[in-house]
Amino acid sequence: MTAHSKFTVAYTVHKLTDYSPAALGKAAIECVSACSSEASAVRNEADLKAFRDRWLARKHGILTQINDLWLKGAPKESKREAGIRVNELKVRIQELVDGAHVSAVQPEIAVDRVDLSLPGIHRPIGAEHPVLRASREMCAVFQRMGYSVAEGPVVETDYYNFEALNFPPNHPARDTQDTLFIAGQESKPQREKLLLRTHTSPVQIRTMERLRPPIRIVIPGVVHRNDPPDASHSPMFHQIEGLAVDTNITFGDLKGTLDYAMKDFFGSSVKTSFRPSFFPFTEPSAELYISCFICGGTGKRGSDPCRPCKQTGWIEILGCGMVDPNVFEFVKDNGYDPKKVSGFAWGMGADRVALLKYGVDDLQLFFHGDVRFLAQWA
């Protein structure tokens, strides 16, 4: 039986001869009952279309017939009562048609047919990116030593990125060949020009402006430099820096802190070596090397040379040093008198740490978004 044939003889609109309230009410009840019965018989989209057309079609729909036969044919004295009844009937019929539409589009699920013994739907769960994982693990090392995590804006001013960190005006890092400046700032003073920060060191100045000493912070974040991408460089990468300021802090405190952190992160067997270097914001400055945890400091992996340490047995990890007194001068009014406080700072590339820790030989693999590669850390 087709959907249309279900409704062809179910209900017919008859012309009224009695327009008393009782007669109108009885006729309306019969109409609603018929519509409700036909609505319950709708099972699919074809049934629904036939049902909707039968009752709501503009030319020959039942509601149109009711309007013509009941309302237009009513005597003058009964038109008001007939109009009220017909309008109420239209609302109720529309509700029944809408209800049948919901039932047809979203049929109820037969609960007794659901096999609860079947395995559930597997939802793949993402994993932390290896660079962010390495950064978080390193931050956790310092948090266990009492450091707090600090963050700051990626778009910085020349003042916070260079001037307040003791970079001289003619330093090469301030050139557009090294730093990505925001366009359209030619009319601004140099210290107010905006750029993408080249290190997370501006957070050190911002934190010292906000908090009085003593402070101990570790600073992870994204930085940008005008470097072409290759196996060991990227115009966007990640850094982790640290700053400790208090009274009577010495280079010995710096060495002891970093030696403990490297052993905690890379393993207790690694050794540390500090070699003189130069950075504008620290004096004295040093580069920290650790003994190669891959070859055990031998420079060889079996009969093959150890590539991560370049056969030297040592791997450069970070730069560090005692905070230059000139840096404290910029925040002197907030309790950082260089004659009363001292501190040390250090910074490392989180991407480089991840390369070493996870044995990856190409930095670009971290940024290609290849799920097959990233799934190794899931």
Query: What are the sequence ranges of the domains in the chain?
Result: 4-111, 130-377
Report the range out of 13-27, 42-56, 189-203, 361-375 with the highest average pLDDT.
189-203
CB neighbours (10 Å) of residue 350?
Answer: 26
User: Binning pLDDT at 50, 70 and 90, where does residue 2 land?
Assistant: very low
Q: Over the stretch 112-138, which tens digit does the pLDDT of each residue have?
A: 577 778 887 877 777 889 999 999 999
pLDDT score recorded for residue 27: 85
- At residue 18, the pLDDT reads 84
Average pLDDT of the residues in 80-101: 84
Q: Given the structure tokens 């930095």, which residue do they identify? A: 363
Which pLDDT score, from 0 to 100, does residue 176 have? Answer: 64
Q: What is the pLDDT of residues 296-344, one digit of tens each?
A: 888 888 888 888 888 899 999 999 999 999 999 999 999 999 999 999 9
For the chain, the distance separating the N- and C-terminal CA atoms, rounded to the nearest angstrom, is: 56
Peptide bond connecting 169 to the previous residue in cis, omega within 30 degrees of 0:
no
Q: Give 57-96 as a DSSP string.
A: -TTT-HHHHHIIIIITTS-GGGHHHHHHHHHHHHHHHHHH
Closest CA relative to residue 254, chosen from 270, 234, 274? 274
The amino acid present at 261, given as its one-letter code, is A
> Is residue 359 scored above 60 in pLDDT?
yes
The CATH code for residues 130-377 is 3.30.930.10
Residue with token string 């609860």: 116
Output the average pLDDT for the chain.
87
CB 289 within 8 A of CB 275: yes
Between 48 and 201, name the one with better pLDDT: 201
Kindly state the tokens that stand for 190: 């140099």
Q: How confident is the model at residue 4 (pLDDT cuts 50, 70, 90)?
A: very low
Whether the CB-CB separation of 13 and 71 falls below 8 Å is answered with no
Q: Judge whether residue 5 has pLDDT over 70.
A: no
Round to whole Å and give the CA distance between 328 and 168: 16
CA–CA dist 330, 121 (Å, integer): 59
pLDDT of the residue at 16? 82
Where is 206: in which H helix or E strand?
helix 202-210
**Which residues pair with residue 282 across a beta bridge?**
279, 323
User: Where is pLDDT greater, at 155 or 54?
Assistant: 155
Output the pTM of the full model: 0.65
Residue 217, pLDDT above cutoff 80: yes
Task: Check whether 28 has a pLDDT greater than 60.
Answer: yes
pLDDT at 3 over 50: no
Give me the amino acid identity at 27.
A
* pLDDT beyond 60 at 368: yes
| 3-class secondary structure, 320 | strand
Angstrom distances, CA of residue 16 to CA of 67, 150, 266 = 12, 83, 94
